[in-house]
Amino acid sequence: MGPTCLLDSGIIIEVLNGKRSRPGIIQQLLEQGSELACCSINVTEVYAGLKPGEEIKTARFLKSLRFFEVTWDMAKLAGDLLNQWRQQGRTLSLPDVTVAAVALSHDLILVTNNHKDFPMPELTLYPLPVASS
């Protein structure tokens, strides 16, 4: 069994839309024995942009992922990260620091297109190849 990979919302959306070769990356991770995961932030962000007719496919994919709840300790860690980076002059979003807190709390590898949104050196990011549309 490989590592557990937390998928960022952008990756989930690209997989659902078949964009940027992301379905192939997901297939590679599965073939390598990785477990794929999401958290409440991902579910919220994906459903916020859902178009009519995408409900079944979206629910099927999201429910196939291991789900990590955001606990009190993770919420505190997210707030701490937001505060820490703000003091360094860096503005991060609440959803991004919450996803980072989930990944850090469970020692997950974060699969994201947006490495700049996750500057935490203690966070392990999956090295995605540059993909074309």
pLDDT tens track for 88-129: 999 999 999 999 999 999 999 999 999 999 999 999 999 887
Domain count across the chain = 1
- With respect to residue 130, please indicate whether it lies within any of the assigned structural domains: no
Rounded average pLDDT over 55-59: 95
| 100 within some domain | yes
Note whether residue 101 is domain-resident: yes
Q: What is the average pLDDT across 37-49?
A: 96
Task: Assign residue 56 the CATH number of its domain.
Answer: 3.40.50.1010
Residue 132 lies in a domain: no
Q: What share of the chain is helix, strand, coil (3-state, %, to 5)?
A: 55, 15, 35
- Whole domain around residue 32: which residue ranges? 4-125
Mean pLDDT of 70-77: 97
